[in-house]
Amino acid sequence: MNYKQASTETTMPSATSAPPPRPGDSYVQSFARGLEVIRSFSAQAPRQTLSEVAARSGLTRAGARRILLTLQTLGYVETDGRDFRLTARILDLGFAYLSSMPIWNLAEPVVEALVEAVKESSSAAVLDGTDIVYVMRVPTHKIMKNSLGIGSRLPAYCTSMGRMLLAGLSDTEVRARLDASDLKPLTRHTVTDRDTLLARVQQVRKQGWCLVNQELEEGLISLAAPLVDASGRTVAALNLSGQANRTSARVVQDTLLPPLLDAARQISALLAVKGSA
């Protein structure tokens, strides 16, 4: 998976393999299969034949065809007679989530002010399985190697926001998510040992912020801070990114961490007020 590409695929954390749920009053199998068909489309497979959708979603051709035709009727899928692809209407599903979470409306002016002050890009993300998913991004005008936007996914184990979000979980859950992750070296700096990663997450939990130095991409240094709700639960993470060719990790920490933590506290305070309203 190219980590710079947005994807609709979701990796669910599981320390052990479990049988799929049985159809019943609390589990609608046809709906679950429909979601599998939607998730079969990605940056790597934006257009698929019926056979490819069936193979990627684990369905029969007949089952995949029924779901695709239903999605086509509803306007979420279109076809040229051979290949199928998602339409822009699929974004309604994601925006329904974003619009249901007041955090992003509350956070945006704070993040914009942060970016204006430090002249570095900032993003917010939530944890989804073994990945983080971008829910907000305020870039600078600088040319960056990566092209991330809302909906982009990155592995949690080697990103500052990912480790910040993992730090909000218990050690047992962190281990389960690390066990479910594809721990591979993306750069010569990437930490892939599970015990070392757990120790890093524990340190992040203790200090209340995270710095990742060139583990996701050579030359990229990233800081993250937690966004917490009224109960103190970490619901998202906020970051700032800098370039190693311009400054060292120590300077990034000294100069960017204070304004980042201040912005995170402002957003968390807004969340606390919203949650108690």
The confidence band for 135, taking pLDDT boundaries of 50, 70 and 90, is confident
**How far apart are the C-alpha atoms of 103 and 116, rounded to whole Å?**
20
pLDDT higher than 60, residue 9:
no
Name the band, by pLDDT with cuts 50, 70 and 90, for residue 26: low
Task: State the CB neighbour count (10 A cutoff) for residue 75.
Answer: 12
Percent of the chain with pLDDT over 70: 83
User: In whole angstroms, how far apart are CA 274 and each of 144, 202, 241?
Assistant: 35, 29, 28
pLDDT exceeds cutoff 60 at 8: no
| pLDDT tens per residue across span 184-203 | 999 999 999 999 999 999 99
Helix 29-39 × helix 61-74 angle, to 10°: 80
pTM of the model: 0.70
Length of the chain: 277
Q: What is the pLDDT of residue 24?
A: 58
pLDDT in tens, 225-246: 999 988 889 999 999 988 888 8
The whole-chain average pLDDT of the chain stands at 84
